Structure formats: C-alpha cells, structure tokens
Structure 1
C-alpha cells in the first residue's frame, strides 16, 4: 500500500479537472468555443469563465486573499445574471484562459500557504464559515461537474471525446463501432420503455 496525504490527493484531482477543462478548447474555432449547445446556453468558454470566478472567490475572497488586479464585474457580483457563463464579443479566448490560469495559480498559493483546517467565510448562508478542506472538496466537485458539461458540449461540437488528449479513458472503437453501440443503446431504450405512459 502506498502512503499518500489528503492534501496532495485532493490537489491532484482539482488539477486534473483544470487540465481537462482547458483541453476541451484545443483545436476549436472562436465560434465553436463560444456557441451555446444546450437550451440553457452551455458553452465551453463560458464554463472556463465561470470556474475562473469560482477559483477566485472560493480560494481568494473566502480567505481574505482577493485575486490581485482589477476584478471583472462577474466576479464582484455587479454583473447581470449568468454574465459568468458566456463570453462577450469583446472578451477574447486568451483573456478568459489567462484569467483562469491566473485564478488557479492564486488558488494554489492559498493551498500552499494555509493549512486545510483554516476557516474562511463565504457571503451566503447557511454555511458561511467553511474550512479550506471543505472548500477544496467543493471546488473539486464543482470543477468536475463542469468538465462533464464540457465533455458533452465538445462532443456535440466536433465529436471529440475523452478526458485526455489521447482519449485513453474511452472504450476502444472506431466510428462504426460507436454508431453500432449508440444504436444498441437506442434500441434498449425503446424496448425498455415499451408501454410507458410518460410517468
């Protein structure tokens, strides 16, 4: 059995989510990283922008360590609803990705500096006082949730799948195999719902 420590393990999972999220932008046009592909407008660059704010607030403001530099309105809470979930025409991909990397680096400084039992304060009840350990777990869950969204959006954009560039976490198979697989799933869904009245 290999010995590990909790902080190292948790940070590994957070960094894995960060890397996977940015991978989903690779090789796409400006339009494809911005375009909404769900009825609620989910898009790749918006997911990066949203997690930038989460990293900045949870690992910065919460522990009295605001992210240095001018804060975008969507981080300070002075923007319209959902402003953190899409890129305006004036915002470049580079600005948003650089902002994310800067927020992550600042978050890592917090994690390097403070012990996991440090208590921070978030501005919303009912749990306004939380430990860095709890915040770190929250950010792992939040980040991986949005990476899941990014997985689906990227597949809808150009069919690319997988957590890593090599696609090593996907079942082996070419386009024909995946089409046959999808057809089997569809057939099972139809048969499994035969006689279903919609309840």
Structure 2
C-alpha cells in the first residue's frame, strides 16, 4: 500500500467527512500493518500473557467490532450467532472473535474490508444525530456520532497494538 492511501482528512471539512476520514485512516493503517506477512506470522503469538493478541486476532476482532457497533448497536441486528457475543458458563466471554488460527490472512483482510465497507454504507445513510436501535445495552441508544468516535478510538488503539506486534514479529515498524 502506498503512503498516499494513508492520508489524514482535510483540515477544513464538515464533521462527517472528518470523522469518517480519521476512521478510514486508522483502518488503512490496520491493513498496512498486515502487508507482507505470511499466515504463520499473522497468527504468531508474541505476548505471552495475551496469546490471542496476534495480527490475525486483532484483525478479526476489529472486523467484528465494526459489526457490533454499526449492525448490532446502531441498526439493532440480533447479536445471536455472532462470535463476539458467544458466552461460556456463567456468562464468561469466549473471545471467539479473536480465535482465528485456521483462517488465512487474506480471508481475514477481505472480511475486514467488507465489514468496513458495510459500516461506511450505514454511516452514509444516517444522520450523525440518529440513535442506535439496540435497546438491550445502554450504549445501544447512543448517537451515530458517539459510535463513530468510539470506533475511531477502538481502531486507533488496536492499530497501536499492531504496530508493536508487527515489530516483534518481523522488525517492521512505521507510524503511518
């Protein structure tokens, strides 16, 4: 990916353009951090206390986080059957959205791309002041603006994780 694809949004633009622009920049950084990795490298665990935090695990988690906020929280889709909502005994989180050792990196990237495209379609079709339809959670009634800010925070945080993991996997580093 060329650096020109990783551009900050315009200095002067409307709120939606800037919010989506910053989110898209972070998404591009996530994709960039995956470039050139083998499937083995993408699934290599380098943090002993967090074995699921691999490049592939983060990519899958971000894919499902897009789904959580825009499909489930905002549009009100049923969370049943989605891996990020599966629970074990006594409500323990299973982290199935992170468990992707058998999924090739190319597939994880394609799934992430599709989720981001779908999220952008939802964002484009609604006012930033529209509220989510997921009444089962307090944050499910937040505005689309709030959800966009949250996704920007979530994606940027994990892009930082990818920065460190990538350096530990093969020495590659770079800001953006």
Q: Quick one: distance in 1 between partners of 2:137 and 2:76?
A: 20
Structure-1 residue corresponding to 2:115: 103
* 1:141 equivalent among 111, 128, 153: 153
Q: CA deviation at 1:122?
A: 4.1
1:149 partner SS:
helix
Q: Quick one: distance in 2 between partners of 1:94 and 1:105?
A: 16
1:46 partner SS:
helix
User: Size of the alignment, in residue pairs?
Assistant: 158
- Could you report, residue by residue, the CA deviation over 1:2-43 in whole angstroms, capped at 9, with x for unpaired residues? 632111111111001101011111111111101111121211
Contact 1:46 1:86 (C-alpha < 8 Å) held by counterparts: yes
Q: CA deviation at 1:124?
A: 5.8
Matches within 5 A, 1:52-131: 52-64=63-75, 66=77, 73-75=82-84, 77-78=85-86, 81-89=94-102, 91-122=103-134, 125-131=137-143
Contact 1:58 1:122 (C-alpha < 8 Å) held by counterparts: no
Where in structure 1 do 4 or more consecutive aligned residues deviate above 3 Å?
A: 121-128
Structure-2 residue corresponding to 1:153: 165
Unaligned stretches of 5+ residues in structure 1: 165-199
Instruction: Give the TM-score of the pair, scaled to structure 2.
Output: 0.81
Instruction: Give the TM-score of the pair, scaled to structure 1.
Output: 0.72
Are 2:58 and 1:47 equivalent residues in the alignment? yes
Structure ranking higher on relative contact order (CA contacts 8 Å, 6+ apart) = 2
Unaligned stretches of 5+ residues in structure 2: 1-10, 89-93
- How large is the Cα RMSD of the aligned pairs? 2.2
Q: Would the alpha carbon gap of residues 37 and 121 (structure 1) be closer, same or farther in structure 2, given more than 3 Å must change?
A: farther
Matches within 5 A, 1:169-180: none
Contact 1:47 1:86 (C-alpha < 8 Å) held by counterparts: no
Q: CA deviation at 1:60?
A: 1.3
* 1:36 equivalent among 32, 45, 64: 45
Q: Quick one: distance in 2 between partners of 1:65 and 1:55?
A: 13
Q: Quick one: distance in 1 between partners of 2:34 and 2:27?
A: 12
